[in-house]
Amino acid sequence: MQPLLFLLIFVLFQEDEAGKIIGGREARPNSHPYMAFLLIQSPEGLSACGGFLVREDFVLTAGHCFGSSINVTLGAHNIRRQEGTQQHITVLRAIRHPDYNPPPVIQNDIMLLQGDSGGPLVCNNVAQGIVSYGSSSGNPPAVFTRIQSFMPWIKRTMRRLSSRY
């Protein structure tokens, strides 16, 4: 399924924009404990992505956030500081959607990360999308993968992998 195009603001880490919030405001500390920060090691170097906890042992993120090593941090308000609320999760397995296509096509840009039980599942808000790509300036357009379209795959994959342990 093609990623869904929304005209929303999208922030990529840029030298001059790093740490800035574009079109929004800083969240109250620890108000979104299900949000995940991903640090990815790949042959191209280090990169960062976001994701969120969908169960105590699964994080949902974009398929292009794949790497040889993925470190997940939950409970961070400021990722540049060590905070007592942070939890570091060991990723046991990264499972891209079976029909994932990399750039320049970018289709089915969604991935589940299976880790150890890193903490409670707290999802009062409803997740709608995973950022696929957008303008590095933070201006529209931005492209998001619609999570709802992948719910059968997400549930099937989590069920299959959970039965192995």
Please list the active-site residues: 64, 109, 117
Q: Is 94 exposed, middle or buried (0-12, 13-18, 19+ CB in 10 A)?
A: buried
Distance CA 37, CA 79 (A): 8
Distance CA 37, CA 71 (A): 8
